[in-house]
Amino acid sequence: MLRIGAKRLLGLAQRPAIPPPAVVVRSYHERVVDHYDNPRNVGSFDKNDPTVGTGLVGAPACGDVMKLQIKVDDETGKIVDACFKTFGCGSAIASSSVATEWVKGKQMEEVVTIKNTEIAKHLSLPPVKLHCSMLAEDAIKAAVKDYEVKKAKKAGNGEESAKSAGKGANA
């Protein structure tokens, strides 16, 4: 009896096994992990390049910020390259990476039809992470809009130059 009491006191007594508490393990889909571990097209282009469109979007609720850039062939209107930089969770990085892969080689009209639901479905994002795919869709649209604004400005400057050259010749 004394021996048992001493073991209890020193913490050496055998105790009944208590099962560990049940833990719910949530993990990302393998595609999210792949794009997070091996992101495609990370980087940036010169934002002043007239063939580059830049989309910068953010989600204040979670702090994710996404910059997606496209490089467009002026003659064909086809996106020849794309890159991104994202500050955020694994789902945001994966969404950016997927978006850059999907826009490469496509026409501008085609990429603006990419929906966040398609990105979310491809990555199997849970409902709580849908905002990440929404950011990717918004970044694509913002990059296309930025490129179109630059293109219109370039075309407007070309017309003004031609007009002023014509006035100078007539005077």
Give the angle 151-152-155 at the CA atoms, nearest 5°: 85
Name the active-site residue from 62, 65, 112, 130. 62
Q: How many helices (H) and strands (E) does the chain have?
A: 6, 3
Q: Are 136 and 82 in contact (CB under 8 A)?
A: no
Whether 132 is catalytic is yes
Give the tokens for residue 149: 């604004």
Task: Answer yes or no: 62 catalytic.
Answer: yes
Single out the catalytic residue among 132, 134, 139, 140.
132
Catalytic residues: 62, 132
